[in-house]
Structure 1
Amino acid sequence: MRTYKLRPWTEIVRLHPDVESGETALAAYAIDLGAIVAGDPNIPAYYRDSLSFWKITYLTSGMRRMIEEVFNRLSGKEGDRVLQLRSPFGGGKSHTLAALYHAVKDRKAFLQAVPEAANLPEIGDVKVAVFDGEKFDAIEGTEISGQRIKTLWGYLAWQLGEYDKVKEHDKNRVAPGGDIIAEILGDNPNLILLDEVLKYIIRAEAVKIENSTLGQQTIEFIQTLTTEVAKTRHSVLVYSLQASLQEAFHREDLLRMLDHLTARVDAKREPVTGDEILHVLRKRLLAEEPSEEDSLEVAEAYANVIRRMKIANAVDEVQRKEAEEESIVIRDRIKKSYPFHPALIDIMKERWASLPNFQRTRGALRFLAICLYKAKKLGVANALVGPGDIPIEDIDVRYALFTEVGQREEFQPVLEADLTGANAKAKEIDKRLASENPALEYVKPAKRLATAILMYSFGGLPRETEEEAVPPGVTEHELLSACVGPDLDSITAQTALKYLRDKCLYLHYDGVRYAFKTIPNINKILEDEVQKVSPDDVSDFIKTTIEQRVSQKTKSAIIWPTESRDIPDNEPRFIFVYLPLEFANFNVKEQEKRAFELLTQYGEKPRIYRNCIGLAIPDKKQIEGLRRSARYLKAIKRIERKKKTLRITKDQENQLKERKQTEEAAFESSLRNLYNSVWLLIIENNQLKIEKLEIGGRAIQSQDIHGRLFELLKDVHNKIFDSLAPRKIVEYMKLGEERTWERTKSIQDAFFQNLDFPRLVDNNVLVKSIIRGVAEGTFGYITLSKVKWEDGKPLFKPEDVVFKRTLNEDEIDLENGLI
């Protein structure tokens, strides 16, 4: 169940019937102006029928102004009569021309849908001529009522009922002069609508007309037409023009020429500005506007989360005030755009608009329509439709996305590896997060963030010059603002983002922006190299590392013995035996059996020195992580050796360094905690048993792998000693009135053999204890070379016995001494 109270948008919003039915054909969202005029039954009825058209149309301020201006000019009022439509987003131009057509041709339907239109002046019968440059063929032209019409001027004149005046001009494809155009226009109201003229001119340039081209003739005609329309009292010309070089197929010469030809007399208009696109999208995609209450509830919930995030990151009071103000702006924008997150619309409007394949408003409508339809059908709707809420796992959604942004085939490996594949990295991360916090199971933070990053990975933010343009990608701040909400806080989102950066194979981070690219990042190169690292390579790496670390602290350690013979016997020193990782795979019974054998046997013989062995037991919980990081460190070393061959870039090299640091930290953590338990052989009630000592939650000062175990035995449990009071030798060897002497060799054997004796670090502890005992007068010391034996008893001269005198360590011979 979801842990937040906001309802998914599917429970609040009603979709437009087209969207509800899954209609995603481009024709459903692209206006065909010529087909509307012709009443083509193949286009949707809501474009052909005036009343239906107004129901799906959001009248922006620009459209309202345009309609008012046109009506005023048609009625004879003064003002601009040649109006140019341009749109930075590329949207609304054709729709505005269609709106003008319907408003003029069916005033009754217009008044019914827009009652305030009653305030517009009366315009009487208006002749309307429409030209769709995308449809009109430059060579064949079009046939109407058996008449072949070849040119723009012929087609307009036909619609205005004055074709005979330009019949020869149309036949010969020569632009008429101003006088003829003035006769055609006359003093009656005429509305001329030109759409996609530049596209037509580009095609017409290929048609030769003696020393000219049809394209040049068309440009001259438009120049003359604009001049003549400007002179009339009742005619209006409205035409659309591409807003960018990219839209104009990089024909800057034509774009400038067409723009300058009309610059003297036209007025430029933008039908959709600022956040009006939000209303346009809602009007077309939803059956009705969401209620104010529902929109505000969602807007406030999201804005509050974003506000808290921004305030938490603020460093001073100024930034905190800015956070408060920004949250109000965000709240108002979400309220306007609901059920869409404004960040999703901004991506399409500001970033995708620079892409050659993107169909602008019609593309945005089609893409959002299929996203809404699929999200509802699949039951994956959240409170908002944001950049991270796109149901990218659906094949139809992916097809729609790449139809708009291109690179469909190139991005298939990207999606498979990081987003939609069965073993996609985002899915793996979400499973991990859900295991740590079950409430995140339905939130899927990694998928949300990765999907959002994908949306931001196409196009870029425009600037004053091309050199200043911001490349594709998204900053962490932008990404979090677009993805956090009542169900996902910024801390969790940042954690998921870190995992994505570490795991994804095609996610690139340049230190500022995240973006998915079709070229693999260092993770992909690393993953490929990891596959070449064998289990034996990993095992050798771990064993060698342990040997190096332990050897820096002690010489009394055995690393990964395979049998009891690998552990020496009759060596007077405490030996830490680090058991191999495979030991952790055995069950408890099998572990104890194998441990008992190592502690009590030396091959086929019983072990003699049993009181000086500690078995370091590997922790199963640490092994998988240790092997994983070891495998990656081995792979990183291989990449470093052949980075020239692999053509590693500077960015990838920096990524590799960062990844190396991450893996080294993980390896060190797992290694430090790999051995947290030591098993000792003890005797209890005359029976041999294993005592298990664990670090557990104890605070151990030492941080190295061996120091931790030594501290556990020596300081925490007092199981091994690096010093021994002389009286302990007397006590444990039972020296007294009955037995007044003992060989030092026997003392050594007793301490390292007998399980009820203290465990000593090594036999030097005995040497120091004997030196102290002699100096303090606890006992005397004599070498066996000065002793004679009679009936098993030592005989020696008193003056040969060292007593109450300080000896040097090299004067004590444990193999040949007596106390």
Structure 2
Amino acid sequence: MSNLIYENKVRDDVFNPSLDDQMAPELSDVIVGNAPQIYLDPKEFFSVTYITDSMRILVNEITNALSQGKGITITIYSLFGGGKTHTLLLLYHTFNNPKLVKEYGLNVLEGVKVIGIGGKDSRTAPSPVNPLKEDNVEIKTLWGYIAKKLGKYEIVRKLDEDMIAPQKDDLENLFKGEKVLILLDEIAYYLLRLKYRYKEYYEQCLLFLEALASMGVNLPVVLVATIPAKITTSSNKQDIIEYIESEYEPEVIKALAKRLERSGKAFRAPIETSTDLANVLIKRIFKEVNETVKSNVVGKYQKLTDQYKDYVNVAIAQDVVRTYPFHPLYIETLKKLLEGNTHLQGTREGIKITRYVIRDLWNSKPTRSLILPSDLSIKNPQIHDLLLKDFKNYGTVADTIIQRSKGLEIVFLLANYIFITTYYHQLGLDAGQLASALPDDKEIITSVLDPEYLNLIGRLPSDVKEILGSISSNSKNVDMIIPYIMNDKGRYWVTYFLDPKTICEKDASKVPQAEVEDRLDNIMLELAETPIDNVQKKGKKTISGLLLKLYRTILRNKNELVNVDEPSYYVVILSKPLCQDCKDVNEIFKASEEVARRILYYVPSGKTEGLRRYSNTITLLFSSTGSNRDKIEDYMRKHISCSNIDVTPYYNDKISREYAGKILREYLNSLENAIYNQIFQYFDKVAYPIGNNEVRIVELKSGEKTLLQQVESTLIDEGKIYREENFDFDVLVTLLSNLGIDITKKSFSVKDLREIFYTNPSLPFVTDSAIYNAIRNGVEKLEIGVMTKGKVYYKKYESMGEIVVDESSIILPANEAADKEINELVSQEKTIEEDDKVIKRYYVLELPDGTRVPLRELKEDENWFVKFNAGEIKLVEETLETGIELYAEPKEIEGLPGEIKEVKIMVKKVGNFNSKVYLNSSYGELDVKEGIPDFQTTLKITLNQDGITIVSARYDNKEKRVEIVTRLRQSECEKVVDQVNRDSRISEIDIIDMSDIKTVIMKLNSSVIGKKGLAGEINVEDPNKKISVSVRPSGSNILDFINFINPILSLLGLKPKISGSLRIKVEEIKGINKVEEINELINKGIIKVRVKVC
């Protein structure tokens, strides 16, 4: 007995070419009996079927669900040939033959009704386009078909005729008492075919499938559906449809998947791994594997691998025990071919190709102990045409390989392997980022590792390596070169381009080092501000940093210093690796910190160096070890060399010369791109100033398109750069407080503030505009003011304009800014006399309760600052008749009972008034009661109750009045509160806002339960009718007061002006009924509440 593969028995059908295209029948073909016998006969089917782990899990899931009296919905995702249909056939035969499948280790329930629906066949998937006629019934829908198979068509007859999807109760009635397995194959094709012609039925099908998928919750109904798509799992563990077969609409696939997965689960391709593919091929191709021969071959193979492990891929070689009679790389290569060629239909095409291979081998009988990957030979016309269907430009390449390797089988096997494993990448002269995915010399040598074959040709793996090196485009052995085979850094691939790079690269070593470094420095500066995806385009535009500027002199030497010291933020690039010879992280950090500290904090000063004044302005970008520096310089040398060479003398005809020039230009572009990408990988560290002239070194963040953006993104993540939108007044105050600076307490120059940021490394990098905006924010919040070019900005008023902040501005404490703004506005007041009238333009502060206080009088109030912040500044223009103005100072007095208070009463004339004025007071004594203005008098008031004292002035049959509010000071056992609760002992309620007095009093009367009295005085005035009424309750009942004031309010119109002061005295409180209403009035500043605390 030999150790050749021919000792294994191949299935008879493999040698029948007419069966090549019948290896994957539709589910419907099996259901209607129109398929090869191996698919119709359950025993034959299981004899050629390898049951993968995924298939077993699927059978068990279904069995477990049905055993519990429940169902399940399962979607099987796989592209063409991924095993979807074969899996449904497995389920079809398994549940139709529960006793038979026990022989194959499958235990399933008996009595399950299996209904198969093949979406491409109207015999198993009727539709309005192709109805199914059976037993004098015309079935037009899927639900009609299922009902007919269950013998319960009458339940859905009307719904089938009307093409209306059955509802949940209809389906429950249909499946009652049944155990059902429904297999849906090619349902996406079915839906796509109907979508446009029968859109309403298409929608009804989706509704039906969604309802059907939910049946398994309560009934033993299992639905298994195939979806021609590939899914992946996202970071949040959600399945995502990644790829959909080209003949299907994504909208249909996604709609179908969405409806089915609401109540189900997804299964990936039944045949997904290399192990699955190997087992399927062994089962489908071989009737019997000779275990004795297998053992001998595996032993020899492993011995050869161990002996030449420096030349072969040991990890691949170890898999021979699971892939025999196939070489491990046969399986891997076939799998990659099926994935790399979108027109190949997965496993079914893989089986077909392998049938071609087996027939070739068994006919020609080459010496083989394994079926090698290069037995997938481009010499076979069927394999050649199938593989190159979408790659016609590689026909010449394949023909050239065949011609140049004539009589040299080992050369063909090596070249053929490189071809079939790389052509579908359609690579050019540079493999680029795919280099790591290409075969290396160990893999290629392993591809021909066959003990019997190598023994026959008298070659060792070391010899094979030498042959391999001689056939690629950069080989020194010109006679052995096979055009189109490329080799770079130990990776091999085929291209259909001629290769001018070998011509130009031969002079790369002659390029001077200085020229290489100059060119690299220029590119580094370019990449700092030019997006990497635009850097090769014409008319490319640079992108400035959000905050950082580029220092346009590259530091080549780590001992160089930055010759700039100004209030601007700079990124400095160090081009040479900072610590190329460092061996560990600690050594790198120590060296980096030392160099970075000098660059960040020192400037050249003559022949020495001095400390940088603006010590918070420099950021250093550098490479720690420059691990890819040699690669970058090598690329640069090749680029310079190839840029200077003329390749036309190397080509005979014009077309070839033009083509070679094009290839060279593309290669130069690839080199440039490689240089750009390598530079982005080269820089890996950023150093910036922190703390007390210290240095922080961090990893450079990737993902941005310019080096400058990467540095800024890194510093933003580090919190060293503050974005403008994140930098407000609160942040500014917090940062400065850490330095012991409080700009809310004393005047501060904005210029000095900027200097603090540029000179203090403990502060972040912020733009000037961010500082200005933060200051504006502080002004808007009334926490500071600002004075710019003599104008004060604090509280907003109509003609103030935008808050102007620049370097010349001065930050003012809030009270100082308020004082200056009031003075500034008062200075703008004007009085204009015209004939018998006077026009006054002046500013008032309108308080929340509607009270207006002239700004010129505001500061007389000890709480003027609080009121100024709470009120609104308004410009008033008042036209006065000739006469007088009457003023009281102060307008509110407070004291203990019996205490005497004095109020200054001032009478000032308006216009050319010279008549006598007579004064009278409703309470208290005036020391002067008449006079010709301007004059003043004193009113003495003895305090005995809360109320309002009115002083009136009569002249020329006219009268003016002024009110003085009197309040008794409260007992220390009472206090004003911000909120009340049900246990609060309310003693008094002051009503501050009179605008809606009736509603407020009614709310308070119903909310506070107990004995209450109302005191104070209000004035109700209609300015248009020049009518006013004063009402003074003295311990009145609240309802009596409301009844009294109602007709007065009605008489004075819709919007009477109400002023004055009212207080509800609670003599005996029994409870609080509506706490939330009282608290709402307090929060709105409408009332003040005093409660007893002792």
**Aligned match for 2:10, one of 4, 15, 27:** 15
Partner AA of 2:662 in structure 1: I
1:342 and 2:328 matched: yes
Residue by residue, what CA displacement relative to the aligned partner does 1:387-409 show, whole Å, maximum 9, x if unpaired?
1123432323434444xxx2364
**Aligned match for 2:25, one of 31, 35, 42:** 31
- d(CA) in 2 for partners of 1:383, 1:58: 24
Residue by residue, what CA displacement relative to the aligned partner does 1:413-463 show, whole Å, maximum 9, x if unpaired?
2222222xxxx11226x2xxxxxxxxxxxxx211101221222135569xx
1:477 and 2:448 matched: no
Give me the identity figure in percent: 22
- d(CA) in 2 for partners of 1:458, 1:174: 51
Residue 34 of structure 1 and its aligned partner are, at CA, apart by 0.5
Taking a change above 3 Å as real, the CA distance of residues 469 and 413 of structure 1, as seen in their structure-2 partners, is closer
1:140 and 2:124 matched: no
Residue by residue, what CA displacement relative to the aligned partner does 1:296-329 show, whole Å, maximum 9, x if unpaired?
322333344344443368xxxxxxxxx7xx44x6
Partner of 1:311: 310
1:413 and 2:396 matched: yes
Partner AA of 2:401 in structure 1: D
1:50 and 2:42 matched: yes
Partner of 1:617: none
Partner of 1:504: 482
Partner of 1:541: none
Residue 101 of structure 1 and its aligned partner are, at CA, apart by 0.8
1:188 and 2:174 matched: no
Residue by residue, what CA displacement relative to the aligned partner does 1:604-652 show, whole Å, maximum 9, x if unpaired?
xxxxxxxxxxxxxxxxxxxxxxxxxxxxx99627689985564332388
- d(CA) in 2 for partners of 1:295, 1:525: 49
Residue by residue, what CA displacement relative to the aligned partner does 1:543-576 show, whole Å, maximum 9, x if unpaired?
xxxxxxxxxxxxxxxxxxxxxxxxxxxxxxxxxx
Taking a change above 3 Å as real, the CA distance of residues 375 and 521 of structure 1, as seen in their structure-2 partners, is farther
8 Å Cα contact 2:33-2:40 kept in structure 1:
yes
- d(CA) in 2 for partners of 1:196, 1:471: 38
Taking only aligned residues, the RMSD between alpha carbons, in angstroms, comes to 3.8
Higher fraction of strand: 2
- d(CA) in 2 for partners of 1:200, 1:521: 50
Partner of 1:282: 282
**Aligned match for 2:461, one of 475, 480, 490:** 490
Residue by residue, what CA displacement relative to the aligned partner does 1:687-721 show, whole Å, maximum 9, x if unpaired?
xxxxxxxxxxxxxxxxxxxxxxxxxxxxxxxxxxx
Residue 411 of structure 1 and its aligned partner are, at CA, apart by 3.6
Residue by residue, what CA displacement relative to the aligned partner does 1:479-528 show, whole Å, maximum 9, x if unpaired?
223233321533332333233324323334455643334455559999xx
Partner of 1:95: 86
Query: Which fold has the larger relative contact order, with Cα–Cα distance below 8 Å and residues 6 or more apart in sequence?
Result: 1
- SS of 1:280 mapped into structure 2: helix
Residue 83 of structure 1 and its aligned partner are, at CA, apart by 1.8
1:170 and 2:160 matched: yes
**Aligned match for 1:426, one of 392, 405, 408:** 405
Residue 87 of structure 1 and its aligned partner are, at CA, apart by 4.1
Partner of 2:345: 359
- SS of 2:304 mapped into structure 1: helix
- d(CA) in 2 for partners of 1:110, 1:94: 19
Partner of 1:717: none
Partner of 2:493: 515
- d(CA) in 1 for partners of 2:116, 2:655: 68
- d(CA) in 2 for partners of 1:499, 1:38: 58
Residue 266 of structure 1 and its aligned partner are, at CA, apart by 1.6
Residue by residue, what CA displacement relative to the aligned partner does 1:271-320 show, whole Å, maximum 9, x if unpaired?
335312211111111112x133322322333344344443368xxxxxxx
Partner AA of 1:203 in structure 2: R
Partner AA of 2:253 in structure 1: L
Partner of 2:260: 262
- d(CA) in 1 for partners of 2:487, 2:660: 20
- d(CA) in 1 for partners of 2:174, 2:184: 17
Partner AA of 2:370 in structure 1: L
Taking a change above 3 Å as real, the CA distance of residues 291 and 456 of structure 1, as seen in their structure-2 partners, is same
8 Å Cα contact 2:329-2:372 kept in structure 1:
yes
- d(CA) in 1 for partners of 2:146, 2:217: 17
TM-score under structure 1 normalisation? 0.54
8 Å Cα contact 1:138-1:203 kept in structure 2:
no
1:396 and 2:382 matched: yes
The correspondence of residues 477-626 of structure 1 with structure 2, limited to 5 A, is 477-486=442-451, 487=454, 488-502=459-473, 503-509=481-487, 511=489, 513-521=491-499
8 Å Cα contact 1:178-1:224 kept in structure 2:
yes
Q: Which has the larger radius of gyration?
A: 2
- d(CA) in 2 for partners of 1:57, 1:68: 17
Partner AA of 1:229 in structure 2: G
The correspondence of residues 447-458 of structure 1 with structure 2, limited to 5 A, is 447-458=412-423
Residue 15 of structure 1 and its aligned partner are, at CA, apart by 0.6
Partner of 1:727: none
8 Å Cα contact 2:76-2:227 kept in structure 1:
yes
Residue 359 of structure 1 and its aligned partner are, at CA, apart by 1.0
Partner of 2:662: 648
Taking a change above 3 Å as real, the CA distance of residues 474 and 148 of structure 1, as seen in their structure-2 partners, is farther
8 Å Cα contact 1:132-1:194 kept in structure 2:
yes
Residue by residue, what CA displacement relative to the aligned partner does 1:787-809 show, whole Å, maximum 9, x if unpaired?
xxxxxxxxxxxxxxxxxxxxxxx
Taking a change above 3 Å as real, the CA distance of residues 337 and 642 of structure 1, as seen in their structure-2 partners, is closer
TM-score under structure 2 normalisation? 0.41
State how many pairs are aligned: 494
Residue 49 of structure 1 and its aligned partner are, at CA, apart by 0.8
**Aligned match for 2:216, one of 229, 235, 238:** 229
Residue 86 of structure 1 and its aligned partner are, at CA, apart by 2.7
- d(CA) in 1 for partners of 2:281, 2:116: 26
Higher fraction of helix: 1
Residue 237 of structure 1 and its aligned partner are, at CA, apart by 1.0
Taking a change above 3 Å as real, the CA distance of residues 469 and 34 of structure 1, as seen in their structure-2 partners, is farther
- d(CA) in 2 for partners of 1:371, 1:239: 34
Partner AA of 1:223 in structure 2: E
- d(CA) in 2 for partners of 1:490, 1:250: 48
- d(CA) in 1 for partners of 2:383, 2:659: 39
- SS of 2:344 mapped into structure 1: coil
- d(CA) in 2 for partners of 1:645, 1:247: 36
8 Å Cα contact 1:380-1:391 kept in structure 2:
no
